[in-house]
Amino acid sequence: MKKLRILVVGQGGREHALGWQLSQSPLVKKIFFAPGNSGTENLGENINIKVDEIEKLADFAKKEKIDLIIVGPELPLVLGIVDFFQKKGLKIIGPTKKASLIEGSKIFAKKLMSKYNIPTAKYEIFTNFHLAEKYLKKTTYPLVIKADGLCQGKGTKVCDNQKEAEEFLKKLMVKKIFGSAGEKVVIEECLTGQEISFMVITDGKDFLSFLPSQDHKRLLDNNQGPNTGGMGAYAPVPFVNKNLIKRIEKEIVSPTISALAKEGCSYQGILYPGLILTKKGPKVLEFNCRFGDPETQPLMMLLQSDLLAIFLSLIEGKLKKKKLVFKKGAAVCVVLAAKGYPGNYEKGGIIYGLDKIKNKDIQVF
């Protein structure tokens, strides 16, 4: 079989972990990363193109005869990298611009869930600040305010009282700290329960589920400190048993995939609902149109199946014939961050001692 040239778009630990897993496939010839990082450099070749430079990426992929492109972060997906690449005849894994709205617009996701009875928190949509402010005066607390658009994970706030809610609403809709992403908001019921990440890969009809995982968003131990991009993650989740997985697949994943197809935006790629396990069952907090970071790191440590073969079957619409097989046991990822993170911090620091790690069960991404 012909060996393939792969391009991974992204620059995080997630993309390094994906590249590491792909590099073990006998089907791989060479992996490029755009822009990659100092870890991915050891797996292939880093290319100095940013994730949102879609035309440049396509030119590179054409020139270098790339056989398959895998996209890590949401930004290029929401900008329409998949539509653009497909028009150029390139093979790429990910949802189209319209299907990516499931992450790119909280309002799109909420309306879809209501229309197709997918369990989620009760909500109201506001496009007018004064109406939203009025609502905050007569409703009950706690509640959750969410900017409609992408805000690098900072557009959501759980508000314990009216004062906190009014302040956050002003930041979004009046001061516009996230620009147009915060001009429209969702105000929703605050749910309680354990949060889990549930990722599947789908060709628009069938899907395969990854192990459930859990990430840790707060900076410090014991859920203290500010929210971050994720300080660590582990899989599988001990309190998510086979029955619960089946329920999530039946009540959330399957109806979402068929809803998107019915809406004329059939979804291909990774679909990742962030779930909260309430007393009344699993409910969707948000959808992501990509792999989670850092959840992907432990998942790639556990994955036994050839990820590239899975991606290829997705492209051919033959996922149904495949299986995701995982190793026994568990994996945990701990993020080391520079002092000052998630605020301002010094960049370019050197990590020492990686050569001392000889145990194959430990990977540094």
Contacts of 294 (CB under 8 A, 6+ apart): 13, 14, 215, 230, 232, 233, 333, 335
Nearer to ligand GLY, 85 or 272 (CB): 272
98 binds, among ligand AMP, ligand GLY, none (CB under 5 to 8 A by kind): none
- Should residue 281 be labelled a site residue for ligand AMP when binding is judged by CB under 6 A? no
The Cα–Cα gap between 205 and 150 comes to 27
The amino acid at residue 196 is: I
For 89: left if phi > 0, alpha if psi spans -120 to 50, otherwise beta; the answer is left
Minimum Å gap between C-beta 285 and ligand AMP is 4
Choosing from 6, 75, 102, 191, the residue that interacts with ligand AMP (CB under 6 A) is 191
- Should residue 286 be labelled a site residue for ligand AMP when binding is judged by CB under 6 A? yes
| Nearest partner of 248 among 291, 292, 285, judged by Cα | 285
- Should residue 188 be labelled a site residue for ligand AMP when binding is judged by CB under 6 A? yes
- Should residue 271 be labelled a site residue for ligand AMP when binding is judged by CB under 6 A? no
Choosing from 285, 312, 333, 335, the residue that interacts with ligand AMP (CB under 6 A) is 285
Count residues binding ligand AMP (CB under 6 A).
13
Minimum Å gap between C-beta 221 and ligand GLY is 18
Enumerate binding residues for ligand GLY (CB under 6 A). Answer: 215, 230, 288, 292-293, 295
- Should residue 295 be labelled a site residue for ligand AMP when binding is judged by CB under 6 A? no
Nearer to ligand AMP, 39 or 292 (CB): 292
Minimum Å gap between C-beta 301 and ligand GLY is 16
Minimum Å gap between C-beta 179 and ligand AMP is 17
| Nearest partner of 156 among 109, 112, 201, judged by Cα | 109
- Should residue 274 be labelled a site residue for ligand AMP when binding is judged by CB under 6 A? yes
Residue nearest to ligand GLY (CB): 292
| Nearest partner of 102 among 90, 91, 116, 88, judged by Cα | 116
Contacts of 31 (CB under 8 A, 6+ apart): 5, 6, 7, 8, 19, 22, 23, 40, 43, 44, 45
195 binds, among ligand GLY, ligand AMP, none (CB under 5 to 8 A by kind): ligand AMP
- Should residue 107 be labelled a site residue for ligand AMP when binding is judged by CB under 6 A? no
Minimum Å gap between C-beta 229 and ligand GLY is 7
Nearer to ligand AMP, 192 or 359 (CB): 192
What are the tokens at 313? 């079957």
The Cα–Cα gap between 185 and 63 comes to 42
The Cα–Cα gap between 339 and 342 comes to 9
The Cα–Cα gap between 48 and 44 comes to 13
215 binds, among ligand GLY, ligand AMP, none (CB under 5 to 8 A by kind): ligand GLY
Task: Assign 326 to helix, strand or coil.
Answer: strand
Minimum Å gap between C-beta 125 and ligand AMP is 14
292 binds, among ligand AMP, ligand GLY, none (CB under 5 to 8 A by kind): ligand GLY
The answer to whether the CB of 269 falls within 8 A of the CB of 203 is no
The Cα–Cα gap between 318 and 314 comes to 6
Residue ranges in contact with ligand AMP by CB under 6 A: 121, 144, 146, 156, 158, 188-191, 195, 274, 285-286
